[in-house]
Structure 1
Amino acid sequence: MTSLQRLPTSLTPLDMALDALLNGVEPVAPVELTLKEALRCIAAGMPPLPAYPPRDIAAADGYAFCARDLVGASSYSPLLLSAPPVWVEVGDSLPEACDCVLDSDSVDLSGPMPQVLAEAIPGQGVRRAGGDIAAGCPVVEAGRRVLPRDLLIARTAGIERLNVRRPRLRIVNVPGGSVTAELIAESAQATGADTVCFTAAGRDAGSIAAVLDDGACDLLLVVGGSGVGRTDAAVTALAARGEVRAYGIALQPGRTSAVGRLGKTPVVVLPGAPDQALAAWWTLALPAVDRLSGRHPRKTVNLPLARKIASGVGIAEIVLLERKQDMWSTLAVGELSLEAIARAEAWLVVSGGSEGFAAGAPVDAYMLRD
């Protein structure tokens, strides 16, 4: 049976395809999750925190003093005390009028009167009020990914749940591309998205259409079946259930990708080959996840190129990079081997309107490793 899928005579520029995909897409509503569930999600607005610690506390075990009372004290000129000093341990609140902590070696209690054998400066051995958490700061800035160190702040402040945006992703695997589908699912999970995976009963349009459901997801990804082979029918299935906004993207690899809508839900159809699927994931699906998450623009690392990158005009090409001696070294352009994918530290897109970059030119690349 001949496939009904046919690439159009002219490919859609990548930026136009992305605009078609993201048009009308807004961040999902925030939800409250436990700290464990919120890890890697994108933070939404949170109330400001109180200062921590709320007052000065001991940062070391020792004796609490007022530093100005110890001026001149030394082993040669001990300061005699009329009463034993107050012992504090890490985390204890300092007594009133005390602003430093001396270790036990600096105080001699062996004689009839306690003696101080060293000076101190204000704040020595002390954690100041607000020294760990300044009053008014959030647990995590809205739009930023929740990291393990953010959970440290939350637990210290006694917070058990965080307000985050967690888009729901539905990934449909077209039989024959399970390795790629797992790659995309794991990539999606790394963004903090709530991801569920399904496999179509077959590669025909009817079987694929049967699992295209927009009722419980914010983004639908179809992996495989996007080409023009005899058994490729993912784009045909999308057209039958929803709307194809662009098929045939001027992207190398990944030109058989497609974007569309199922109801109000954005859809990306990714090719079944790992390199092509990753290209579509980075340039189409990931921006959609970021938009739904309300994430701040992803940061790039700017370094000069070790050598020239040549690219053909009219097709956006994916470039894989690794860092060597504070320069970007090119691993692959347009054709991405699995070895290059595994080694790559960053990626960038050479625009379809560009012929590439000269050696030594600074380029902004998106990091692939935290």
Structure 2
Amino acid sequence: MVTAQRLPASLTPLDAALAAMLRELAPVEPIELPPGEALRCIAAEMPALRTYPPHDVAICDGWAMRAHDLVGASSYAPLPLAERPVWVAAGAAMPDGTDCVVDADAVDMSGPLAQVLAEAVPGQGVRRAGSDIAIGRVVMPAGEPLLPRDLLLARAAGLELLHVRRPRLRIVNICNGGLSAQLIADTAQLAGAEIVCIEAAPDMAAIAGALDADGCDLIVTIGGTGVGHTDATVNALASRGTLIAYGIALQPGRTAAVGRIDATPVIALPGAPDQAFAAWWAIARPVLDRLSGRRPRKTLALPLERKIASGVGIAEVVLLTRQQSSWSVLAIADLSLDAIARAEGLLIVPGGTEGFAAGTVVDVYMLRE
């Protein structure tokens, strides 16, 4: 007979559980992906780019000329040209010996000789070689997510493959946790992970069978972490690998669990959306960031608009939004779906504090990067 899941008498401090999960955890090996597949992946060491554009190009349609030859030209004193100028289209390479583009109406082509009706300056209508991408520039420093503007550089420079880290994440949805599972999958995909989602019945054998560590770098389960009659995720994890902690001093999310199957970290999130969201940001996201080799996540330091009261011994998740030059609290520990959707920042109040006084400057993780 299988023993029912029961929370331990004392909860594991959040920082202790997270430290255990991060211990000896190294970033995954880099892979090569084409730019079309690398969006949001975390950059590994990138090669230096070549100069772009590789030569001077016209940035507008017009006549390619040499500015020095046009000194003194005006509509009152047209300057005849010995040779017909070369017409260039925007984006075309500038002909040798030219350094400016003159507008069409600045050259009179009606007579036997072309006549210039205006002066020009060197570089007028021209994009210089290397002005978009200087030699030695990298697409993105290692540890940063690749955004559309970074891929623009890569494509302009002709890079067909990019060096990135993309952890493979297996999400196991258990027992009606579809809403939470989709939230976590979407969030993880934005963090640059490769996602595989599977379903498992709320049965210990079915869950244990789904906890397959082959071909993945992180396993996240959704649901089945409580103490109900059908909750069996924690027991299934213990049967397949090592259960490090069950019952985390985190609100919401105290029924979360962490463990390993061989060297693969496993994080069991509660099924309710607010609890899954909180435990993801408090535990799973730092683990995924370590696997990605991501640099420390950006924070924004602003004073609190009002006091945050917190119980000692439990880390509490706070959602905030910016109001002018301060942080305004949307929700503390009890996180509605509306608050999750509206939040711009997330703060985890450590379990060893009673909160923060109004006006205290706090570093808040940005949810809308």
Q: Give, in whole Å, the separation in 2 of the partners of 1:327 and 1:102.
A: 52
Q: Are the equivalent residues in 2 in contact too, given 1:189–1:195 (CA < 8 A)? A: yes
State the partner residue of 1:75.
75
**Counterparts of 1:176 and 1:3, CA distance in 2:** 22
Task: Check the 8 A contact 1:2/1:230 in 2, yes or no.
Answer: no
CA distance in 1, matches of 2:318, 2:85: 67
The two structures have a TM-score, normalised by structure 2, of: 0.94
What are the ranges of 5 or more consecutive residues in structure 2 without an aligned counterpart?
none
CA distance in 1, matches of 2:215, 2:95: 57
Q: Does 1:337 align with 2:316?
A: no
Quick one: distance in 2 between partners of 1:341 and 1:252? 15
Aligned pairs for 1:206-355 (under 5 A) are: 206-355=205-354
Any idea what the Cα deviations from partners look like across 1:23-43, whole Å, max 9, x if unmatched?
111111111223222122112
Which residue identity does 1:363 align to in structure 2?
V
Query: Paired residue for 2:27?
Result: 27
Q: 1: CA distance between counterparts of 2:251 and 2:219?
A: 22
> 1:251 Cα shift?
0.9
Q: Give the aligned residue type for 1:307.
A: R
More moved, 21-30 vs 62-71: 62-71
Structure 2 counterpart of 1:62: 62
For the residue of structure 2 that corresponds to 1:227, the secondary structure is coil
Looking at structure 1, the residues matched to 49 and 144 of structure 2 have their Cα atoms a distance apart, in angstroms, of 17
Structure 1 residue 10 displacement after superposition: 2.2
Conservation of the 8 A alpha-carbon contact between 1:3 and 1:230: no
Instruction: Name whichever of 258-267 and 344-353 sits farther off.
Output: 344-353
What amino acid maps onto 1:26 in structure 2? A
Partner of 1:107: 107
Partner of 1:98: 98
Q: Give how far 1:308 is off.
A: 1.9
Matched, 1:195 2:189: no
Q: CA deviation at 1:129?
A: 0.4
What is the TM-score with the length of structure 1 in the denominator? 0.94
Q: Distance in 2 between matches of 1:348 and 1:224?
A: 24
Instruction: In structure 1, list runs of 5 or more residues that go unmatched.
Output: none
| Distance (Å, rounded) in 2 between the aligned partners of 1:362 and 1:70 | 61
Q: Greater shift after overlay, 256-265 or 230-239?
A: 230-239
Cα RMSD after superposing both structures: 1.8
Between the aligned residues of both structures, percent identity stands at 64
Corresponding letter in the other structure for 1:6: R
Structure 2 distance, partners of 1:334, 1:94, is: 63
Amino acid paired to 1:272: G
Q: Which deviations, in whole Å up to 9, do the C-alpha atoms of 1:254-294 show, x marking residues without a partner?
A: 11111111111001110111101111111111111111111
For 2:14 and 2:290, locate their aligned partners in 1 and report how far apart those are by CA, in whole Å: 17
Contact 1:247/1:258, CA 8 A, preserved across alignment = yes
Distance 2:85 2:303 in 1: 61
Read off the aligned partner of 2:251 and give its amino acid letter.
Answer: Q
Structure 1 residue 105: deviation in Å?
1.8
How far apart are the structure 1 equivalents of 2:313 and 2:74?
78
Offset, 1:6: 2.2
Tell me the equivalent position of 1:88: 88
Moved more, 106-115 or 26-35: 106-115
* 1:185 shift after superposition: 1.7
Is the Cα–Cα contact under 8 Å of residues 3 and 229 in structure 1 kept in the other structure?
no
| Cα distance between partner residues in 2 of 1:352 and 1:123 | 62
Residue 247 of structure 1 contacts residue 259 of structure 1 at CA under 8 Å; is this kept in 2? Answer: yes
For residues 172 and 7 of structure 1, the distance between their equivalents in structure 2, rounded to whole angstroms, comes to 21
Q: Return the letter of the residue paired with 1:80.
A: P
Distance 1:77 1:302, change over 3 A: farther
